Amino acid sequence: MSAVCTDAPAATDDELARGLAAGDETSLAAAYERWSALVHALARRSLGDTTEAEDVTQQVFLGVWRGRHGYRPERGAVGAWIVGITRRRIADALSARTRRADLAASAGTALALAERPGRRGEDTEAVLDRMVIRSELARLPAPQRQVLHLAFYEDLTQTQIAERTGLPLGTVKSHTRRGLRRLHGRLTENDTA
């Protein structure tokens, strides 16, 4: 039985970029093989945690695949593009870490208040859920935040919100829909972070 030589010459960066843009999974595998060690090293050095670095590495190459049509060779080499994605994912991971720490500190304060004598203790998960939702609501644009606050905290209908704010009913509905969509996206992002 004769051995088959599978050592094909390595694709150039330009060939990989063209393959990625064309949706070639082999090009993605080659890009992963070529740059995953660098991506992991950058993430590990920045985050100080191997598990987080592995997560970031997966997110980077998922981002490479999903964003492959956005790569512009005239703006730089494909390796530099991947490093740029890596830097953004590292920043996202650091932000998520900060949010988790802030929420944990806030939750600790809220739990301490909830457990004071004479107050009914609340389930820890319920307190954390409320803290996360309040935090994410605060990040929404003011019109969306106001409409959602009136709907969920003051239990007003969209018609009542339109009357109270002076906004047209259609605008209230649009702000509600956009706000809920953004809130859902941010909460889903927090779950995966």
The domain locations on the chain are 13-97, 139-192
Q: Average model confidence (pLDDT) for the chain?
A: 82
What pLDDT score was predicted for residue 192? 58
**73 DSSP 8-state letter:** G
Tell me the H-state helices in 49-118.
50-66, 78-114
Contacts made by residues 126-135, CB under 8 angstroms, sequence distance 24+? 128/103, 131/103, 131/106, 131/107, 132/103, 132/187, 132/190, 133/183, 133/187, 135/99, 135/102, 135/103, 135/106
Q: Which residue has the higher pLDDT, 189 or 53?
A: 53
Mean pLDDT of 147-169: 88
Q: Would you place residue 62 in the very low, low, confident or very high pLDDT band (cuts 50, 70, 90)?
A: very high
Residue with tokens 């709907």: 151
- Tokens at 80, concatenated: 């530099």
Residue 51, CA atoms < 13 Å, CB-side half-sphere = 1
CATH 1.10.1740.10 correct for 13-97:
yes
Percent of residues, the chain, with pLDDT higher than 70: 78
What pLDDT score was predicted for residue 135? 80
In the chain, the amino acid numbered 2 is: S
What pLDDT score was predicted for residue 186? 76
Most confident of 2-16, 40-54, 66-80, 122-136: 40-54
What pLDDT score was predicted for residue 6? 46
Architecture category of domain 139-192 in CATH? Orthogonal Bundle (1.10)
Helices 142-152 & 124-138, crossing angle to 10 degrees? Answer: 140
Q: Which residue has the higher pLDDT, 111 or 45?
A: 45
- Where b means 16+ CB within 10 Å and e means fewer, 148-157 reads bbbbeeeebe
pLDDT tens for each residue of 112-124? 555 555 545 456 6
* Res 155 pLDDT > 90: no
CA distance 58 to 89: 10
Phi-psi region of 118 (alpha: psi -120 to 50; beta: other; left: phi over 0): left
What pLDDT score was predicted for residue 5? 41
- C-alpha dist (Å) from residue 20 to 8, 65, 86, 117, 133: 18, 7, 17, 61, 38
What pLDDT score was predicted for residue 120? 52
pLDDT tens for each residue of 31-41? 999 999 999 99
* Res 111 pLDDT > 70: no
pTM of the model: 0.53
What pLDDT score was predicted for residue 46? 93
